[in-house]
């Protein structure tokens, strides 16, 4: 929280915000980055309301009591100011979600009615559709990643990680979070994803073989509590190394900048859907909390079908 924001928020509001953030981290399993984003969003909101209600003599002086009196017009003023400052609809929707979550908690704790805040409509925005690789491009990516290092165990490591992203639909943080207790990989992995949610993911033989090959070549000793994937000096492998090796591979293949580690996860889901996979099952494999998140893949598939249709049935 910036010094300017701190000076505009009453001590009571700051304490309430810190208690809420601690609860989000402890109970909801929010990541450090999520907590930082929440803190920034709420600090901006509370600072705006302080100035909107007459500066530091207004909301800052009245503390939590003033939060109970925020009305629909106040919320509209905050959203208008954010949009005027260049905040897009998607980012504003995220900020509003943080504000509503904080208000639900605060209203329950303080015993007031938060309807004015909770009834504020979320800005409409178009979901960004995943940009998966074609199946041949995904396979070419894995093959080309292997060529990026002259050191055998590093090449095998990079192939193993990218194969897990594409073959199991793992997030890069999930793949790099595997430890010695997961090796050798079983036919089914239990993954702890975002928000501490657990899911079961089948492991294809190709992914198990890739990880086994890497483990045989890796010069660093493995232990149950150490990460499977190691950096050059034996430390934990960070996501930037995989992002960098994929960037070099996609340049050689002539693929767009969207061919990232996360695109391999999208490719996993899209190719499953194209092969007739059930949307609900794919939701569970990806660890999406809401089916609506997974439904974006329906749009990808429909778009691809329309592309084929337009190409084979041109308008006269």
| CB-CB neighbours of 61 under 10 Å | 14
Active site residue 171: yes
Residues in CB range of 76: below 8 A, 6 or more apart: 120
Rounded CA separation 109/193 (Å): 29
Residue pointed to by tokens 């491009």: 137
* Catalytically annotated residue among 208, 230, 266, 288: 288
Residues in CB range of 24: below 8 A, 6 or more apart: 30, 34, 35, 38, 101
Rounded CA separation 88/85 (Å): 9
Name the DSSP class of 201: E
> In which element (H, E) is residue 149 found?
none
* Catalytically annotated residue among 95, 157, 171, 250: 171
Rounded CA separation 238/254 (Å): 25
Q: What is the pLDDT along the chain (316 residues), one digit of tens a residue?
A: 444 455 567 788 888 899 999 888 877 667 788 888 899 999 899 888 888 876 544 444 446 777 888 899 999 999 999 989 888 888 888 899 999 999 999 999 888 888 889 998 887 765 555 577 888 898 999 999 999 999 999 999 999 999 999 888 888 998 999 999 999 998 888 888 766 777 778 888 888 999 999 999 999 999 999 999 999 999 999 999 999 999 999 999 999 888 999 888 878 777 666 655 554 555 555 544 443 444 454 544 444 444 444 544 444 3
* Catalytically annotated residue among 250, 265, 266, 271: 265
Active site residue 124: no
Active site residue 297: yes
* Catalytically annotated residue among 52, 53, 194, 199: 194
Active site residue 194: yes
């Amino acid at each position: 929280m910036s010094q300017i924001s701190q000076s505009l928020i009453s001590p009571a509001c700051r304490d309430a915000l810190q208690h809420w953030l601690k609860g989000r981290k402890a109970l909801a399993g929010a990541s450090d980055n999520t907590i930082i984003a929440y803190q920034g969003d709420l600090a901006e909101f509370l600072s705006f309301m302080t100035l909107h209600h007459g500066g530091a003599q207004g909301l800052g002086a009245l503390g939590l009591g003033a939060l109970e009196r925020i009305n629909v017009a106040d919320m509209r003023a905050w959203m208008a100011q954010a949009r005027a400052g260049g905040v897009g609809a998607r980012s504003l929707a995220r900020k509003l979600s943080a504000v509503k979550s904080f208000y639900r908690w605060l209203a329950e704790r303080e015993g007031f009615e938060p309807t004015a805040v909770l009834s504020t409509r979320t800005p409409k925005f178009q979901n960004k559709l995943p940009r998966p690789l074609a199946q041949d491009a995904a396979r070419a990516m894995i093959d080309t990643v292997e060529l990026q290092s002259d050191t055998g165990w590093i090449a095998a490591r990079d192939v193993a990680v990218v194969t897990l992203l594409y073959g199991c639909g793992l997030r890069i943080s999930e793949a790099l979070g595997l430890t010695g207790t997961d090796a050798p990989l079983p036919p089914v992995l239990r993954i702890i994803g975002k928000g501490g949610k657990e899911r079961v993911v089948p492991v294809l033989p190709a992914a198990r073989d890739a990880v086994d090959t890497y483990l045989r070549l890796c010069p660093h000793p493995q232990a149950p509590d150490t990460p499977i994937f190691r950096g050059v000096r034996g430390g934990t492998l960070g996501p930037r190394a995989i992002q960098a090796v994929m960037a070099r591979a996609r340049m050689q293949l002539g693929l767009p900048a969207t061919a990232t580690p996360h695109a391999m996860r999208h490719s996993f889901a899209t190719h499953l859907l194209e092969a007739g996979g059930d949307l609900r099952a794919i939701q569970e494999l990806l660890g999406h909390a809401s089916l609506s998140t997974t439904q974006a893949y329906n749009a990808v598939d429909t778009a691809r079908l329309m592309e084929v249709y337009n190409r084979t049935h041109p308008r006269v």
